[in-house]
Amino acid sequence: MDHPIAVIDFGSQYTQLIVRRIRELGYFSRLYQPGELREVGAPAAVILSGGPRSTREPNAPDIDFEFLKSLEVPVLGICYGMQLLNLKFGGEVAPGNVREYGPATLLVEPGADGILNGLKGHSQIWMSHSDTVSTLPEECRVIGRNLDGVPVALQWNACFHGIQFHPEVSHTQEGTDILRNFLSLAKDLPKFRMASFKDELIERVRREVGGRKVVCGVSGGVDSSVLAALLHEAGVNARYIFVDTGLLRENEAKEVQSLFSEMGTEIETIDASDRFLSALAEVTDPEEKRRIIGRLFVDIFFGAVGQDVELLAQGTLYPDVIESATSGSIAATIKTHHNRVDRIMEMKKGGRVIEPLDELFKDEVRQLGRILGLPERVVSRHPFPGPGLAVRCPGEVTREKLEIVRHADRIFIDLLRERNWYDSVWQAYAAIIPVKTVGVKGDERSYEYAMSLRAVISEDAMTAQWAQLPYELLGEASNRILNEVPGVNRVLYDISTKPPASIEWE
Ligand code: XMP
């Protein structure tokens, strides 16, 4: 698409949220690495993201500033982006007194317009930085400050703007207004519609496949189902493999079979539960578990399809890319996602992996799935992690613990469906707490596991709130689990937000 709104990625955890917010405003935006600026073509506007590095470090990520100026389009620097622009305009950046993380207040300077046009003048913003601008170049105007009078919004000239805080996160109350104001300074804004994005994706799939034979792992989850539907729509005749890891929820394997037969597509199922369980025996470290599952999955998968796979299609979404980013990009690793293990990354370098959904967030994938005609029960399914129930069994994964988790999870999910809560939460599940506690069952002492129930509200899994489920529903879930699931004598409800917790236990 012509004239994208280019978001230059300096590695912040929130960078893709900027792209997403712009899409929500109805415009087309895309992410680029700092060195790719010249390849963007003619962007309608440029946003420089935040990032974990300091502009004062040797080899700090940089931008071709002369070229950026020559574009003569609106530019917004966010956090690191603002500090970088300040340096480019001849100002200075210094370490802040403290690392500022979390809520702060924006005070709009009297008479400020442009990106702060129409704002309340006193609203919450979200900070995440340690450096701050210390000296401002002469022509620079301060348009907003925090409560300590520190400049947090700058304007260097008619095109160049900067903000120290993150307008893309929902904790910045007027963040969307700021982005909207910024975009209103641009000409020829490209419109974003999922239906036309679908056409672009189909073109992309055809171009990337280029007549090669495709294999695709499926799980029955939203992502791989949407990917399969997209490949189908693009006229790609792929071979679909379903590896039953034994780490799935109750009846999941059967549901996958029936979904694909409804789509008129054949899948090959491999039952590998025993192999996964033995590989995981005595392993307790979460990253080690993920690595083992990832590697074994890949071994089994390639054992079935052969080593000389021409092209592998994966339903990787943007958050998977960002949360397991490694040294190749700037963001720091949070946890390794199963579809980004070494062997697959090697194939990817060799151009043998396609990930057509890698720019999308979950709800966008759902929207795409609906446009592609997938049944609602599939598109509205809660996300389920690649390593499956293993990340819901902290400590060693055993057959006994898996049985318990599966049983309790089914009870909890059934109840959420019965009470019409399933679609109101982003994700819900039961996890086992690997600690036995004392209780009384009948007249006897019991010494059994505790379960944790978790239900979260989220927009994109990057941040999450715990869902305020009715006590009565929680009470019933607890009663049913305590009565029906052997091996459990305690049920807890997890009231942790992300951050600092994550959605899954591991
Ligand atoms: P966390 O636990 O990181 O989870 O807050 C964010 C979202 O990602 C899902 N998740 C995964 N999905 N492979 C996946 O495909 C994985 O390895 C993985 N780990 C977590 C998680 O269920 C939540 O929706």
Q: Residue 462: give its domain's CATH number.
A: 3.30.300.10
Name the phi and psi angles at 441, rounded to 5.
-125, 125
Report the pLDDT averaged over residues 2-20: 91
pLDDT at 325: 52
Please check the confidence at residue 489 and state whether its pLDDT lies above 90: yes
Same domain? For 340 and 419 the reply is no
Residue 362 Cα: closest atom of ligand 1: 24
At 331, the pLDDT band (50, 70, 90 cuts) reads very low
pLDDT at 337: 58
Q: Which two tokens stand for residue 497?
A: 């937000």
Q: Which of 16, 227, 320 to mutate to test the pocket of ligand 1 (most atoms within 8 A of CB)?
A: 320
Give the Cα separation of 213 and 237 in Å (integer): 8
- Tell the residue number behind the tokens 């990832």, with chain if given: 294
Residue 143 lies in a domain: yes
Report the pLDDT averaged over residues 158-162: 97
Q: Which residues are catalytic?
A: 79, 166, 168
Q: Is 248 helix (H, G, I), strand (E, B) or coil?
A: coil
- In order, the DSSP letters of 400-464 are HHHHHHHHHHHHHHHHHHHTT-GGGSSEEEEEEEEEEEEEEETTEEEEEEEEEEEEEE-SSSSSB
Tens-place pLDDT, residues 287-309: 999 999 988 998 999 999 988 89
Secondary structure in 3-state letters for 151-206: EEEEECCCCEEEECCCCCCCCCCCHHHHHHHHHCCCCCCCECCHHHHHHHHHHHHH
Residue 504 lies in a domain: no
**CB of residue 341 inside a 6 A radius of ligand 1:** no
The domain that holds 349 is classified in CATH as 3.40.50.620
Nearest to 246 by CA among 432, 411, 389: 389
Same domain? For 256 and 155 the reply is no
Report the pLDDT averaged over residues 187-203: 93
The domain that holds 174 is classified in CATH as 3.40.50.880
Same domain? For 124 and 198 the reply is no
Please check the confidence at residue 330 and state whether its pLDDT lies above 70: no
Residue 393 lies in a domain: no
For residue 277, what is the DSSP state?
H
Q: Which two tokens stand for residue 343?
A: 């062997």
Q: Of the ranges 68-72, 305-309, 469-473, which one carries the lowest mean pLDDT score?
A: 305-309
Report the pLDDT averaged over residues 119-145: 93
Q: Is 107 helix (H, G, I), strand (E, B) or coil?
A: strand
Same domain? For 172 and 229 the reply is no
Please say whether the beta carbons of 59 and 35 come within 8 A. no
Nearest to 170 by CA among 429, 426, 498, 494: 498
Same domain? For 348 and 411 the reply is no
Report the pLDDT averaged over residues 493-504: 94
Task: For ligand 1, atom 17, name the residue with the nearest CA.
Answer: 337
Residue 501 lies in a domain: no
Task: For ligand 1, atom 10, name the residue with the nearest CA.
Answer: 385
Residue 506 Cα: closest atom of ligand 1: 2
Tens-place pLDDT, residues 417-439: 999 999 999 999 999 999 999 99
**CB of residue 73 inside a 6 A radius of ligand 1:** no
Dihedral over Cα of 268, 274, 276, 277: its sign: positive
Please check the confidence at residue 21 and state whether its pLDDT lies above 70: yes
Task: For ligand 1, atom 21, name the residue with the nearest CA.
Answer: 385
pLDDT at 461: 83
pLDDT at 399: 97
**CB of residue 502 inside a 6 A radius of ligand 1:** yes
At 198, the pLDDT band (50, 70, 90 cuts) reads very high
Same domain? For 199 and 289 the reply is yes
Mean pLDDT (the chain) is 92
Report the DSSP pairing between strands 427-441 and 444-457.
antiparallel
> With DSSP H G I counted as helix, E B as strand and the rest as coil, what are the percentages for the chain, rounded to 5?
35, 25, 40
Cα(191) to centroid(ligand 1), Å: 30
Q: Which of 329, 346, 379 is the last residue of a domain?
A: 379
Determine the straight-line distance between the first and last CA of the chain, rounded to whole angstroms. 39
Neighbours of 417 (CB within 10 A): 11
Q: Which of 183, 204, 236 is the last residue of a domain?
A: 183
Please say whether the beta carbons of 79 and 12 come within 8 A. yes
Give the Cα separation of 202 and 435 in Å (integer): 49
pLDDT at 328: 39
Same domain? For 114 and 241 the reply is no
Give the Cα separation of 315 and 347 in Å (integer): 15
Tens-place pLDDT, residues 336-374: 555 677 778 888 999 999 999 988 888 899 999 999 999
Same domain? For 158 and 210 the reply is no
Residue 390 lies in a domain: no
**CB of residue 427 inside a 6 A radius of ligand 1:** yes
CA max distance for the chain: 81
Q: Which two tokens stand for residue 286?
A: 């979460």
Same domain? For 309 and 341 the reply is yes
Residue 389 lies in a domain: no
Cα(456) to centroid(ligand 1), Å: 13
Report the pLDDT averaged over residues 480-485: 98
pLDDT at 338: 59
Cα(239) to centroid(ligand 1), Å: 25
Residue 458 Cα: closest atom of ligand 1: 24
Cα(93) to centroid(ligand 1), Å: 36
Tens-place pLDDT, residues 37-51: 999 989 999 999 999
Cα(117) to centroid(ligand 1), Å: 38
The domain containing residue 265 runs over which residues?
194-379
Same domain? For 135 and 211 the reply is no
Between the CA of residue 273 and those of 243, 299, 385, 394, 405, what are the distances in Å? 9, 14, 17, 18, 16
pLDDT at 329: 42
Same domain? For 170 and 146 the reply is yes
Task: For ligand 1, atom 20, name the residue with the nearest CA.
Answer: 385
Same domain? For 150 and 221 the reply is no
Residue 384 lies in a domain: no
**CB of residue 456 inside a 6 A radius of ligand 1:** no
Q: Which of 379, 413, 439 is the last residue of a domain?
A: 379
Residue 505 lies in a domain: no
Task: For ligand 1, atom 9, name the residue with the nearest CA.
Answer: 385
At 162, the pLDDT band (50, 70, 90 cuts) reads very high
Please say whether the beta carbons of 6 and 30 come within 8 A. yes
Cα(289) to centroid(ligand 1), Å: 14
Please check the confidence at residue 1 and state whether its pLDDT lies above 70: no
pLDDT at 327: 32
Cα(383) to centroid(ligand 1), Å: 8
Please check the confidence at residue 112 and state whether its pLDDT lies above 70: yes
**CB of residue 166 inside a 6 A radius of ligand 1:** no
Please check the confidence at residue 157 and state whether its pLDDT lies above 50: yes
- Specify the number of domains making up the chain: 3
